[in-house]
Amino acid sequence: MDTTHSTENSNIQLNSEERGCQFNTEKYLSIHAYPTMIPALNFIIENLIRIVNENKTRLGHDRALEFGGGPSLLGSFLLAQKIKSIVFADYISHNLTDVENWVKEKPNAHNWSDLFDRVIQEYQKQTEDMSVKRSDWEKQLREAIKHGGLFECDVNADDGPVLNGEPKHYNVVLSNQTYYIENEHRHPILSLNRTFVIEALRDAGFEDIHDESQNQELDKVADGNAVMIITAFKPKSSI
């Protein structure tokens, strides 16, 4: 699954060291962890829950990889309820430190309760299961990340968790890519649009590709003009 902010702009990419120096994790979370600040989060939450519920019999339950999502725990919070182990990878060490602080329940960890409560609320609405509790889901998320581990990596690195390892290493791969601007410094990942992503997935052998998209206004830190959620599956013969 890919939750992507689409943009038509292109810029020279910063290397990992430059990104680490310029990316402000605290500032990012002060905006992008709150649905009231970023309305597109509601679109992402609603569709991620729907996709996972509709495909729960097709999902493996052993291991997932989430990469490129910065310090955000949104996707993993949902995946951890279905999958035992999550390998959480990002380019920037202090993003991983923030996640580690939350996993270890340190006092300085970011408080995810606002976003997690929104996820629980939407899950209850879609499933009519009112028994789910945020505290239980948080416990499962902590266990899943502890089991999988935190990794600093470039997705293109040969020794990273994306390109390194057996083809059947992960049951689910979740990526969240965006453009982020801070103090006029741009942190580009890829210039993406719907056609580019779908063609790339087809070329890689995926099938049963579905996408949902929603236009959005540019905000102060991200210059994407749309949000896309694209789901694709490997053929059964390759699983």
Q: Say if CB 147 and CB 40 are below 8 A apart.
A: no
Q: Say if CB 145 and CB 103 are below 8 A apart.
A: yes
pTM over 0.75: yes
pLDDT exceeds 50 at position 234:
yes
The whole-number average pLDDT for the span 185-208 is 78
User: Mapping DSSP to helix (H, G, I), strand (E, B) and coil, where does residue 231 land?
Assistant: strand
Please choose, from the candidates 170, 108, 109, the residue with its C-alpha nearest in 3D space to the C-alpha of residue 144. Answer: 170
Domain interval for residue 176: 2-238
DSSP state at residue 5: E
DSSP state at residue 101: H
Angle between helices 134-148 and 113-127 (to 10 degrees): 110
Q: Where are the beta strands (DSSP E) in the chain?
A: 2-6, 63-67, 85-90, 150-152, 172-177, 180-182, 185-187, 207-215, 226-233
Structure confidence at residue 29 (pLDDT)? 87
- State the Cα–Cα distance between residues 27 and 61, nearest whole angstrom: 34
Total domains in the chain come to 1
Structure confidence at residue 87 (pLDDT)? 92
CA 216 centroid distance within chain = 18
- State the Cα–Cα distance between residues 71 and 189, nearest whole angstrom: 15
- State the Cα–Cα distance between residues 229 and 239, nearest whole angstrom: 22
Task: Decide: residue 94, CB within 10 A, 0-12 exposed, 13-18 middle, 19+ buried.
Answer: middle
Tens digits of per-residue pLDDT, 51-80?
999 988 888 778 898 987 889 999 999 999
Tens digits of per-residue pLDDT, 99-113?
999 999 999 999 999
Q: Say if CB 161 and CB 2 are below 8 A apart.
A: no
Q: Assign residue 127 the CATH number of its domain.
A: 3.40.50.150
